[in-house]
Structure 1
Amino acid sequence: MKPRNSGSVVRLAAPLRALAQRFSFLLLVLASVALMMVGRIDALSVDSARARVTDAFAPILDAISRPAATAAHVVESVVEVQNAFEENQRLKAENARLLQWKQAALRLEAENISLRSLLKATPEPSSSFITARVIAAPGSSFLRTLVVTAGRRDGVRKGQAAIAGSGLVGRVIEVGEWSARVLLLTDINTRIPVVLERSRQRAVMAGDNSDQTRLLYLPPEAPVQVGERVVTSGHGGQFPPGLPVGVVSSAGERGVRVQPNVDLSRVEHLQLVEFSLPGSEAEPSSESK
């Protein structure tokens, strides 16, 4: 049996609890006002008390924040592992494709050697190159050239091809003892015989002092496709055939435009290549021999 005094305590506490619940909001407002008044009267004491309360709760807050930080780190690690796994799978697939292309290239190379031996084909002309650094781009509205740190003393000759990265940049037009000037593909004075790699349509690529070049002398019914690669044709003895120049960026009523393979505004180093083509300007003259 429960003692009688506990029941009487419960009966006495019930009205007090109801009273506290009824006036709790008012009591909180009064307590807030009192704390504000105390803060106005004795700000130092309030700041000191606030600092002590903060110090007391700091270890608790730190303990609460650690699991959250740990969980975030774990989630980030899982995401990184997932990304690494996906990248690994992509690289494996790309490696498998490259191995297939390698086998195809080796087979074609062997077949090419066999056919050349049967046809007694003339071998490709030998080539040599000089690597030079671009030190100036003295271009204007009427001239687009680059100046490189290689000249006659390094073996640079007028007419040599200038190549950077994945494609042709231009040709050497002026040679000094210590430097040389390269005329870019986009210059208005540039004319290069080219061929569309897929359709085998021949044309002349001309610069117009813009960031792209245009193709001239294409038949109206030529099957030109956007994205088709453009390479040198070898005609005229200026460049050997097959040097990559750019890709067709647009084809319409305003003509065919070609985007060069190389960003000509960001070239830092060039290879000045001498292909020793018969009748080319890059061949040393009899006076220099």
Structure 2
Amino acid sequence: MRFSPLLFIICILVSCFLIYIDRPESRPQALTGMRAGFNDLATPVLDLSVRPFRGLANIGPWWKRQFELADENRNLRMQAAEMRAWRDAALSLQERNARYREALNLQADAAEARISAWTVADRSNAFVRSRLIDAGHEDGVRPGYPAVNVYGLVGRTVEVGRSSTRILLLTDINSRVAVMADRSNARALLVGDNTEYPRLEYLGAEPDLQEGDRIVTSGDDNVMPRGVPVGQAVRDRDGRWRVALFSRTAPIDLIWIWPFEPVQAPEADPVIELSTPEEAN
């Protein structure tokens, strides 16, 4: 069946007219109202007709989620059982440690004696790595006290004012701290060089050190207490040992100053002369 040219032209004109009036800016207000009313009437009907198909489509993901929740619940139960075992072991070790301390007459470091302070200024530049905190001599801070955050050792106090203190960071070129590997007790000196990863010096020819070893203070320098977490051992591009500091895990904001009194040299202690029984008589 062939269309006449007149019918073809009429179809083209009608199409152009419909396209023109379908534009939002050219659409008649009456047509817009009719379309809005039709949408209002059709939307509830369409929603009711789609609900069964929507429910069928959600059955698969719902059951998949139930299986995932069951597996997650099973894993959490296993982890809870393991944590209970570790808790019992920790309580047993805590009790044994308390008995050892009592037998050896050891005094644990009092965590409540630490001085809390906030960082108020960053004094770091190309040549210096330091922080200024809002605690000073009036708060009990003294030069040489270790400064730690929630992750590990940050540095030590060097300039103490009445209500402020400057902390020399471990990354500063003037920082020197005696450290050791927690796994092998390999001793070294942590030397700052104004980079984010201070060096490990004086390790020896063949040190018992591995990538990822936990580095803590050794206390050999009588400047820092023993066992304060410092970081992890890493190698740089040149194969030299460095330390990725724990304290750099988060911004250094809240800091605790750890009052630490070094052990006095024997010459500084008074000599007590004991008399023999013959001298006493």
TM-score range, shorter chain: 0.7 to 0.9
Larger CA deviation: 188-197 vs 47-56: 47-56
Go from structure 1 to structure 2 and tell me whether the alpha carbon gap of 1:80 and 1:170 turns closer, same or farther (over 3 Å shift). Answer: farther
Separation (CA, whole Å) in 2 of partners of 1:111 and 1:80: 46
Aligned to 2:192: 207
The reply on whether 1:52 has 2:34 as its aligned counterpart is: yes
RMSD (Å), alpha carbons: 3.7
2:83 maps to which of 84, 98, 108: 98
Report the secondary structure of 1:169's partner residue: strand
The reply on whether 1:123 has 2:103 as its aligned counterpart is: no
TM-score by length of 2: 0.75
Aligned to 2:16: 36
Aligned to 2:271: none
The reply on whether 1:150 has 2:135 as its aligned counterpart is: yes
Separation (CA, whole Å) in 1 of partners of 2:66 and 2:252: 37
Quote how far apart the aligned CAs of 1:115 are. Answer: 4.1
2:251 maps to which of 266, 281, 287: 266
Quote how far apart the aligned CAs of 1:105 are. Answer: 2.0
Letter in 1 for 2:157: V
Quote how far apart the aligned CAs of 1:172 are. Answer: 0.5
Q: Does structure 2 conserve the Cα–Cα contact (< 8 Å) formed by 1:170 and 1:185?
A: yes
Go from structure 1 to structure 2 and tell me whether the alpha carbon gap of 1:29 and 1:234 turns closer, same or farther (over 3 Å shift). Answer: farther
Identity fraction in percent: 30
Aligned to 1:13: none
Separation (CA, whole Å) in 2 of partners of 1:93 and 1:247: 30
Report the secondary structure of 1:199's partner residue: coil
1:72-91 alignment to 2 at 5 Å? 89-91=74-76
Separation (CA, whole Å) in 1 of partners of 2:27 and 2:237: 82
Which 5+ residue runs of structure 1 have no aligned equivalent? 1-18, 281-289
Report the secondary structure of 1:34's partner residue: helix
Q: Does structure 1 conserve the Cα–Cα contact (< 8 Å) formed by 2:136 and 2:165?
A: yes
Provide Cα deviations, 1:4-23, integer angstroms capped at 9, x if missing partner.
xxxxxxxxxxxxxxx5xx75
Larger CA deviation: 153-162 vs 86-95: 86-95
Provide Cα deviations, 1:59-80, integer angstroms capped at 9, x if missing partner.
3245435757976999888888
Quote how far apart the aligned CAs of 1:253 are. Answer: 4.6
Provide Cα deviations, 1:137-156, integer angstroms capped at 9, x if missing partner.
11111110000001111111
Larger CA deviation: 121-130 vs 153-162: 121-130
Letter in 2 for 1:33: L
Provide Cα deviations, 1:59-106, integer angstroms capped at 9, x if missing partner.
324543575797699988888877766665554444433332222222
Aligned to 1:173: 158
Larger CA deviation: 216-225 vs 98-107: 98-107
Quote how far apart the aligned CAs of 1:49 are. Answer: 2.5
Provide Cα deviations, 1:161-201, integer angstroms capped at 9, x if missing partner.
10100211110001000100101111111111011011211
Q: Does structure 2 conserve the Cα–Cα contact (< 8 Å) formed by 1:125 and 1:276?
A: no
Which 5+ residue runs of structure 2 have no aligned equivalent? 266-281
Quote how far apart the aligned CAs of 1:261 are. Answer: 0.4
Q: When the two structures are aligned, how many residues end up with a matched partner?
A: 257
Letter in 1 for 2:252: V
Q: Does structure 2 conserve the Cα–Cα contact (< 8 Å) formed by 1:134 and 1:269?
A: yes
Q: Does structure 2 conserve the Cα–Cα contact (< 8 Å) formed by 1:38 and 1:46?
A: no
Largest Rg, 1 or 2: 1
Q: Does structure 2 conserve the Cα–Cα contact (< 8 Å) formed by 1:164 and 1:267?
A: yes
Aligned to 2:260: 275
